[in-house]
Amino acid sequence: MKEMSVIQKMIDELKRLKSDGMYLNDFFHTWKKSDDELAATFAVAEILRKMRENNISPKLFDSGLGISIFRDNSTRTRFSFASACNMLGLTVQDLDEASSQIAHGETVRETANMVSFMADVIGIRDDMYIGKGHTYMKEVADAVQEGFDDGVLEQRPTLINLQCDIDHPTQSMADMLHVIDHFGGVENLKGKKVAMSWAYSPSYGKPLSVPQGIIGLFTRFGMDVVLAHPEGYNVMSEVEDVARENVKRTGGSYKQVYSMEEAFIDADIVYPKSWAPYAVMEERTQMVSDGRFDELGSLEQRCLLNNAKFKDWECTEELMAKTKGGNALYMHCLPADITGVSCKAGEVAASVFDRYREPLYKEASYKPYIIAAMIMLAKFKDPAAKLSELLKASRKRVN
C-alpha cells in the first residue's frame, strides 16, 4: 500500500504540469518543448518505472504497431524503443529499407502511409548526414499527417526522433533523468559544472547530435556547461545559439574551450565523447549527395590522421582527479572507445570506465522509460488520469 500511495503522489504532481501541447504531436528536439513538457516527460518516465518495479502492468494498448526505422546502426536505442513499445502494449515492426520497396524507388510519402495503417508511433534514427536526418523525419511526419487528414489513416502516428543530425532527445533526456536522480532532484542542479568534451577515437564520422543534445538540454537547468574540443571540431552554431539563449533565461553559463583539462577542472559531471567536425560532416554529406562515393575513403583517412593529433584527449584518472572532489559523475551514451579494451587508444581509460560501469548501465536504463513517456504524452490528452486508471486496476504484469 505504501508504494501505491507513493505512485499516486507522483501522479498528483504530474497533474500540475501543462503537457497538452504534446498531445497528438511529435518529439523532434528538446528545445522545441516547454519546461512543463520536459518535466512531464521525466515524471511519466519515473511513474512508469515505479509501476514496473512494483509489478503493475503499464500496458495502455491491446493492439497497435510501433514502427522503427534505423538508417544507422544501433543497439541501445533500438532495444530501448522496442522495450518502450512492448511495455505499453504495442508490437514493434522494423522497416528494413534495403529489403522493402524503398529500394525500388518508393517515395517517402507512399512508404510512410503504407506502414502506418495500424501504427501509433514511428521511431526514426537518421543521424549521419548534415541537413538530411531531421529533414527526412519531417517529411515522414508531414506524409502521415496528410494521410490522416485525408482519411487514409485511422489515427495519426506520433514520430519520435531516435537520433537525427541535430539532436538525440531520447539520449539527452535519459542522461538528464540520470543526473536528476544522481543529485537528488532537479532543484539541486543549479550551478553544477558539466564538461561536455570531445575525446579521441580511432574512428571517424561519429554524429554531432549527442554533444549538441547535451548542450541544448543541460543549459536549461541553470548548470554551468562547458563544451571542449580541439580547434576545428565545432558543432552546429545554431545549437550553440540555443545553449546561449537557454542560460539567459535560466541562469548558469555556457562556454566553449579548447582544453579538455580546463573543462574538467572542478566539474561535477564529465561527458567525454568523440564526434566528427561539423565541416567534415558537411563535406561527407555533399560527397554522398553528389554520388562521389569513391572519395569517401580518402576523406576518412584524412580525418583519422587529424584525429590522431589529439590522442591525449582521453578521460584518464589524472583528469578525473581534477574534477570536483576527484569524483565527478562520468557519463557516456555507449559504446565507449576504451583504451586497451575496445581499441589501442580511445576516449576513456579502462580503469575509469570500469569504476563507473554500474552508473553507466543505470544511465542507459532510463531510455526505454523516456521513450515510453514520449509516446504516452503524445497519445493521451490526460496522462495523469490514464496512469491513475492503471494504478487503480493494478493488473499484475507477472502473475
Q: Report pLDDT digits (tens) over 306-354.
A: 999 999 999 999 999 999 999 999 999 999 999 999 999 999 999 999 9
Whether the per-residue pLDDT at 257 is higher than 60: the answer is yes
Predicted confidence at residue 96, as pLDDT, reads: 82
β-strand partners of 126: 164
Predicted confidence at residue 399, as pLDDT, reads: 84
Task: Give me the sign of the Cα torsion angle 331, 337, 340, 346.
Answer: negative
Predicted confidence at residue 138, as pLDDT, reads: 97
Residue 273 contacts residue 210 (beta carbons within 8 Å)? yes
| Separation of first and last alpha carbons in the chain | 18
Return d(Cα 219, Cα 192) in angstroms, integer.
10
Return d(Cα 351, Cα 167) in angstroms, integer.
30
Phi-psi region of 55 (alpha: psi -120 to 50; beta: other; left: phi over 0): left
Cα 317 to Cα 3, 30, 298, 329, 352: the distances in Å are: 40, 33, 35, 13, 6
Give residue-wise pLDDT tens across range 139-168.
Answer: 999 999 999 999 999 999 999 999 999 999
The CATH homologous superfamily for domain 62-165 is Aspartate/ornithine carbamoyltransferase (3.40.50.1370)
Residue with cell 558539466: 194
> Please, where in the chain does CATH 3.40.50.1370 lie?
62-165, 171-364
CATH of domain 171-364: 3.40.50.1370
Neighbours of 277 (CB within 10 A): 21
Residue 376 contacts residue 88 (beta carbons within 8 Å)? yes
Residue with cell 543534445: 213
